[in-house]
Amino acid sequence: MPTKPKFATIFTILRFAALAWFTWLMLRITLEYFPIRDDAAFLQIKQQYLGIQLWRTAFWIHVFTSMLALLAGFTQFFPTVLRRMPQIHRWMGRAYMINVCFITGPASLVMAFYANGGWSSRLAFILLAVSWMFTSALGWRTALQRDWTRHREWMLRSYALTLSAITLRVWKYSLVFLFEPRPMDLYRMVAWLGFVPNLLLVEWLIYRESTARLRP
């Protein structure tokens, strides 16, 4: 008689399914920009910045490279890949680091200085971009040092920030459904809600894992 799946296995399957679903949703959003045009999706509220070449370049770089960072999660945090396909984990990890630290991360930082909603949302997106690059760089550094525990911790933080692209939209639709706030008030709120709760959750997970390791 087959044994029941362990809770950890069920949780991994659900986590994989959720990540796959939200990645598909983000891919659909990205495909809205094909073919390239100046009135697609998010660009409808950024018309005043289209004449700024720096912002425009950063925007298109971010649109076309950020999906790689999201897709990397499928190869970085699932035990089966780590055990059976370590080469894929390493190469995707390198691609993730290069992308976040040198391509889509800097593009995000440029865009942050032009965010709607005034200084509050701009500060939020600047902190998000800097933290994203910083945590990814430390994840890279700890991997080179073969400090795998700290490597995992920093990569969890980095990927929590990667997922802000998804959680920001979840907060946005939830708040609109529940409270119908004014557009700019909503934008200021989700600028922070998109990544701060993610980091708090990851810090709790890291703390729980570290205390579990210390138990006799």
Is the model's pLDDT at 4 over the cut of 70? no
* Residue 206, domain member (yes or no): yes
* Residue 2, domain member (yes or no): no
Q: What is the pLDDT of residues 157-184, one digit of tens each?
A: 999 999 998 899 899 999 999 988 898 8
Give DSSP secondary structure letters for 10-32: HHHHHHHHHHHHHHHHHHHHHHT
* Residue 151, domain member (yes or no): yes
* Residue 170, domain member (yes or no): yes
* Residue 137, domain member (yes or no): yes
Range of the domain at 188: 7-214
pLDDT at 16 (0 to 100): 75
* Residue 113, domain member (yes or no): yes
pTM of the model as a whole: 0.87
Q: How far is CA 86 from CA 52, 75, 120, in A?
A: 43, 9, 42
Number of domains in the chain: 1
- Cα 81–Cα 196–Cα 68 angle in degrees, nearest 5: 35
Contact in structure between 37 and 63 (CB atoms under 8 Å)? no
Rounded Cα gap, residues 57 and 61, in angstroms? 6
* Residue 1, domain member (yes or no): no
